[in-house]
Amino acid sequence: MTELKQYKCLTDLEKIISEIKKLRARPAIRGKHPTLYEDRADGKYRTVMGIRICDYKFNTDETWILPDSQMGLSFSSSWENLKFVLGMQAKRAKKKPIDVFWILSEADIPSGLEFIEDEKNSGHYFLAVTKTEGMSIEELTRKLEMVSYRMSVIRNGGKCI
């Protein structure tokens, strides 16, 4: 039988998580989907089937996602990056609780997707489309849903981080 461990403070947990090294996390306002966005018809954050135009490289008619190693859904791999993202999220949340969703990068990520480190920002990763021919918007939406099912959540994670 495996030993059950109890963590008495956040620093105990932070030490264990830092040893994992391949943790990927992203905050979301309570009640919002962890990998897809609400429909938005215009502006920089316009969405197509829950996917933001600024996150992925779309073809001209916005039906396909083209592979790009420096575009994708954003994830943090370090406490510093996660704290920064939480700060930005808190400004938009207007006092709503923020949950932190996380997954291990070794998790069974659907084929055609991969965590790729941001070349410009240490501690930041993209969940990028890596299929050489790209994938349809419907396929990417389905795969991001699959990723969300595999994610764990820290309720009110914004308060403890």
Separation between Cα atoms, residue 76 and residue 107, nearest integer Å:
15
Give the pLDDT confidence of 79-121 residue by residue, as tens digits: 888 888 888 887 777 888 989 999 987 778 899 999 999 999 9
Task: Tell me the HSE value of 80 on the side-chain side, using a 13 A CA sphere.
Answer: 4
Q: How many residues are recorded in the chain?
A: 161
> What's the farthest any 2 CA atoms get from each other in the chain?
56
What is residue 161's DSSP assignment? -
Model pLDDT, residue 87: 83
Percent of the chain beyond pLDDT 90?
53
- For the question of whether the overall pTM of this predicted structure is more than 0.85, the answer is no
Sheet strands (E) in the chain: 23-29, 47-48, 51-52, 57-58, 64-66, 73-76, 98-104, 113-117, 124-129, 135-136, 152-154
